[in-house]
C-alpha cells in the first residue's frame, strides 16, 4: 500500500520569521487523504498490511465520538476491504455527529461503552464482555499507536531532501513523535507538543518505542486540556489559514503551531535554524468543533 500522493513541503514566508532568521517548512501530511489524513494514514498502513496478510476480515478499534482515528479507520476499512467496528467512549450519539456520521457511512458499526468501562478497554475482561461475539478481528489500540504504527511514522521524513535542525509535532498517544524520533540524523531533534493536560505519562510511552534521546516535550500549550480551546487559539488558527493558506485543526496542529510561534517570539531557536513542522491532519474534526463553538460565538473558518 503506497502513499496516494507525494506529500508537499510548504515553506512559510513571513517577515516575522525573516526577522528571527528562521526557516519554517510544513510537511503537509494533511493532504494525504481527506479522511485518513496525516499521521493516521502512517499509523494504519503497516497495521492494514499485517491484517491483510493474516487474513483478518474485521478491524476493531476505540475512540471518542470526535476521534480522527475513528474516522480514519472507518475510511481505511472501506478502502481496503475490512469490516470495521468502533468502540465509542460515552453514550450513544443521536443524531450522529459529523465524525460518526462519516464513519457510519463508511460502514463502521459502533459499540458504545460508558466511560468507566472504556477505561478498561485493554483488559481481557473488557474484550470478553464486549467483543467476544466478533469473528477473527484485528485489534488496533486507541489512537492507533503500536509498533507497526511507529514503523509507519518513521517514514514521514523519509523523502526529505532538505537538511533541517528541528522537527515539531503535535502529540496524543506518542506514536507519531516516536516514529519521527527514530528517523532523525544525529544533529537533529524533535519537539513534541502534547494536546493533553498532564501528559506526564507520555515520555514513558515514547521511551518504549524510541532508539535515541534527541527529543523533548513542551507541556505548555494544551490550552486547558484535550479538546479544550479558547478564543486566542481559534483566532490564531483562523489568521494562520488566511495568511499562509494552511488550515489547522484546533485540537492538535493549532495548539502546536501556536506553541511554535510563541517559542519563536521568545527567541527559543538559534538563528539560522531550519524547522520542519509536521501537519498531522485532523481537519475532519473542525465541523464537529464548530458545532460546539456555536454557543460561544466562535467559529473556525
Ligand atoms: C491523532 C493525532 C495526533 C496525535 O498522534 P499520536 O501518534 O497519538 O501522538 C496529532 N495530530 C493529529 C491531527 C491527530 O489526529
19-30: per-residue pLDDT in tens? 999 999 999 999
Write out pLDDT tens, residues 142-159.
999 999 999 999 999 998
For residue 176, how far is its CA from the centre of ligand 1 (angstroms)?
A: 7
CB of 47 within 6 A of ligand 1: the answer is: no
CB of 56 within 6 A of ligand 1: the answer is: no
Q: Which of 27, 31, 35, 38 to mutate to test the pocket of ligand 1 (most atoms within 8 A of CB)?
A: 38
Name 88's bridge partners.
Answer: 63, 112
Is residue 272 one of the residues assigned to a domain? yes
Decide: residue 115, CB within 10 A, 0-12 exposed, 13-18 middle, 19+ buried: exposed
Cell of 103: 464513519
Does 101 lie in the same domain as 155?
A: no
Residue 195 CB neighbour total at 10 angstroms = 24
Does 201 lie in the same domain as 237?
A: yes
Write out pLDDT tens, residues 79-121.
999 999 999 999 888 899 999 999 999 999 999 999 999 999 9
Residue 48 confidence (pLDDT):
96
CB of 63 within 6 A of ligand 1: the answer is: no
Cell of 84: 470495521
Among 100, 116, 144, where does a domain finish? 144
CB of 41 within 6 A of ligand 1: the answer is: no
For residue 19, how far is its CA from the centre of ligand 1 (angstroms)?
A: 31
Q: Does 1 score more than 90 pLDDT?
A: no
Write out pLDDT tens, residues 223-243.
999 999 999 999 999 999 999
DSSP H or E segment with residue 12:
strand 9-12
Residue range(s) defining the domain that contains residue 275:
9-35+146-296
Mean pLDDT of the chain: 95
Listed range (65-69, 89-93, 229-233, 255-259) with the worst mean pLDDT: 89-93
Helices (H), 145-230: 147-153, 175-182, 200-207
Does 189 lie in the same domain as 53?
A: no
CB of 99 within 6 A of ligand 1: the answer is: no
Number of folded domains in the chain?
2
CB of 171 within 6 A of ligand 1: the answer is: yes
CATH number at residue 290: 3.40.50.1100
CB of 175 within 6 A of ligand 1: the answer is: yes
Q: Which of 31, 34, 46, 171 to mutate to test the pocket of ligand 1 (most atoms within 8 A of CB)?
A: 171
Does 217 lie in the same domain as 104?
A: no
For residue 172, how far is its CA from the centre of ligand 1 (angstroms)?
A: 5
Does 160 lie in the same domain as 139?
A: no
Amino acid at each position: 500500500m503506497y502513499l496516494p500522493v507525494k506529500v508537499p513541503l510548504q515553506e512559510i514566508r513571513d517577515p516575522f520569521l525573516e526577522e528571527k532568521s528562521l526557516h519554517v517548512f510544513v510537511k503537509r501530511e494533511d493532504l494525504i487523504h481527506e479522511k485518513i489524513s496525516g499521521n493516521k494514514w502512517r499509523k494504519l498502513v503497516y497495521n492494514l498490511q499485517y491484517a491483510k496478510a493474516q487474513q483478518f476480515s474485521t478491524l476493531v478499534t476505540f475512540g471518542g465520538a470526535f476521534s480522527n482515528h475513528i474516522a480514519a479507520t472507518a475510511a481505511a476499512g472501506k478502502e481496503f476491504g475490512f469490516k470495521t467496528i468502533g468502540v465509542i467512549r460515552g453514550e450513544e450519539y443521536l443524531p450522529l455527529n459529523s465524525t460518526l456520521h462519516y464513519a457510519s457511512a463508511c460502514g463502521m458499526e459502533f459499540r458504545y461503552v460508558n466511560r468507566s468501562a472504556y477505561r478498561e478497554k485493554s483488559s481481557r475482561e473488557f474484550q470478553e464482555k464486549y467483543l467476544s461475539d466478533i469473528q477473527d478481528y484485528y485489534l488496533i489500540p486507541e489512537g492507533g499507536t503500536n509498533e507497526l504504527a511507529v514503523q509507519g511514522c518513521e517514514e514521514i521524513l523519509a523523502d526529505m531532501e532538505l537538511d533541517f535542525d528541528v522537527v515539531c509535532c503535535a502529540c496524543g498517544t506518542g506514536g507519531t513523535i516516536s516514529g519521527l524520533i527514530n528517523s532523525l540524523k544525529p544533529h537533529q531533534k524533535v519537539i513534541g507538543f502534547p494536546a493533553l493536560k498532564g501528559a506526564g505519562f507520555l515520555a514513558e510511552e515514547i521511551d518504549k518505542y524510541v532508539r535515541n534521546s534527541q527529543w523533548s516535550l513542551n507541556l505548555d500549550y494544551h490550552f486547558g486540556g484535550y479538546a479544550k480551546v479558547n478564543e486566542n487559539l481559534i483566532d490564531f488558527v483562523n489568521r494562520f489559514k488566511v495568511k499562509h493558506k494552511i488550515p489547522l485543526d484546533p485540537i492538535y496542529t493549532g495548539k502546536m503551531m501556536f506553541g511554535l510561534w510563541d517559542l519563536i517570539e521568545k527567541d527559543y531557536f538559534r538563528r539560522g535554524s531550519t524547522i520542519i513542522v509536521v501537519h498531522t491532519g485532523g481537519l475532519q474534526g473542525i465541523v464537529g468543533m464548530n458545532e460546539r463553538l456555536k454557543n460561544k460565538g466562535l467559529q473556525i473558518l
